[in-house]
Amino acid sequence: MKKIHMVDLQSQYQKIKETVDQSIKEVLNSSAYINGPQVKEFQADLEKYLDVKHVIPCANGTDALQIAMMGLGLQPGDEVITADFTFAATVEVIGLLQLTPVLVDVDADTFNINIDALKKAITPKTKAIVPVHLFGQVANMDAIMQIAKEHHLFVIEDNAQAIGATYTFKDGTKKKAGTIGNVGTTSFFPSKNLGCYGDGGAIFTNDDDLAHTIRGIVNHGMYKRYYHDVVGVNSRLDSMQAAVLKVKLPLLDSYCDARRNAAKFYNNAFVNNSNIITPTTSSCNQICDQCDCHVFHQYTIQITNGKRDDLHQHLLDKGIANAIYYPVPLHQQKAYKDTRYKEEDFKVTNKLIDTVISLPMHTELDNEQLTFITETITNFLK
């Protein structure tokens, strides 16, 4: 049996090695390392895939979030509501721009932002909502967009973990994750469902004026060389990474299907174990077995008998990679502590940090590995 990794990028690369190597060689031969033709081609391909008017590539997913907020013209002191249970990048950029982060609790089943908590957090200073499509599942965008409309708020989708997911609205219409709000952002970090071989990111929008502003921001505020019209940053997707992404984008749907199949294997193996809560796919308005609102960037279960940490170590001892995303909620992190936050407002998050564990999830998992993983867990949790 192959070694069990959280993400097996080497095996994935071997399957596309010839095409990737040729794509990278084209960059080397052209020496167009910044804003070369590969960047423009990938941008056009991703616009078509997402059915969105504008994709603006940038250097990484964190920059994408920051630039999106800059492009919307948010000002110091403006309040931005987001989920407490997520990676720090989401709140990090809010702090960097001297905006005011407002953290709220999440749902126990989907791990995404809780709609009642979101409504309760809105004040006259609120200017934006940042739903995080955590672990690959789209948040409840019907409710979020309605709330945003009622209160005249921007919606910035943090789509770093859910590229390829599709949300089905109550009226039956569908949109790709990241293209629903005013602006969406993503990361192409190597372990993502669509990952490059370094850092990379992108911003999505259907707003022509916002896209124009963002294109200036990513390039030092320039639309014409040496003429700086807006305050900008240096955040570009380099041609090497675009060359890799251009090869991998046509495979994204098959990658997501492979992850869903692995998730189904896990779900079936754990269905009768009362000590395990498996992930749900209830964020959008589809039958769960047919749901494409979840692309399983992570497969995260909850352990209900208090033995999560013991299981974590047991799996490591057996050579099975696993991880705890996330061990400390943002409202308890030193950088983001605030007297405004009350522990009773984070009941779900405070429970999740003690119960969640993420299992190996990637495109190269085979049945032998999945069987070994699930049998090891079920035997330990009898």
Residue-by-residue pLDDT tens, the chain, 382 positions: 999 999 999 999 999 999 999 999 999 999 999 999 999 999 999 999 999 999 999 999 999 999 999 999 999 999 999 999 999 999 999 999 999 999 999 999 999 999 999 999 999 999 999 999 999 999 999 999 999 999 999 999 999 999 999 999 999 899 999 999 999 999 999 999 999 999 999 999 999 999 999 999 999 999 999 999 999 999 999 999 999 999 999 999 999 999 999 999 999 999 999 999 999 876 555 544 556 889 999 999 999 999 999 999 999 999 999 999 999 999 999 999 999 999 999 999 999 999 999 999 999 999 999 999 999 999 999 8
SS3 370: helix
Distance CA 353, CA 169 (A): 30
Take residue 74 and report the two structure tokens written for it: 């948010």
Which stretches of 285-333 are DSSP H helices? 308-317
Distance CA 198, CA 307 (A): 36
Question: Length of the chain in residues, anyone?
Answer: 382
pLDDT of residue 290: 55
Q: 88: closest CA among 101, 76, 79, 70?
A: 101
Report DSSP letters for 256-273, one per residue. Answer: HHHHHHHHHHHHHHHTT-
Number of Cβ within 10 Å of residue 122's Cβ equals: 17
Q: CA 150 → CA 119, 154, 177, 183, distances in Å?
A: 11, 11, 22, 18
Distance CA 135, CA 340 (A): 27
pLDDT of residue 295: 96
Take residue 345 and report the two structure tokens written for it: 């407002």
Take residue 351 and report the two structure tokens written for it: 């429970």
DSSP 360: P
Take residue 90 and report the two structure tokens written for it: 């989401």
Q: CA 274 → CA 208, 270, 271, 278, 313, distances in Å?
A: 51, 8, 8, 10, 20
Take residue 34 and report the two structure tokens written for it: 């910044």
Q: 372: closest CA among 321, 324, 320?
A: 320
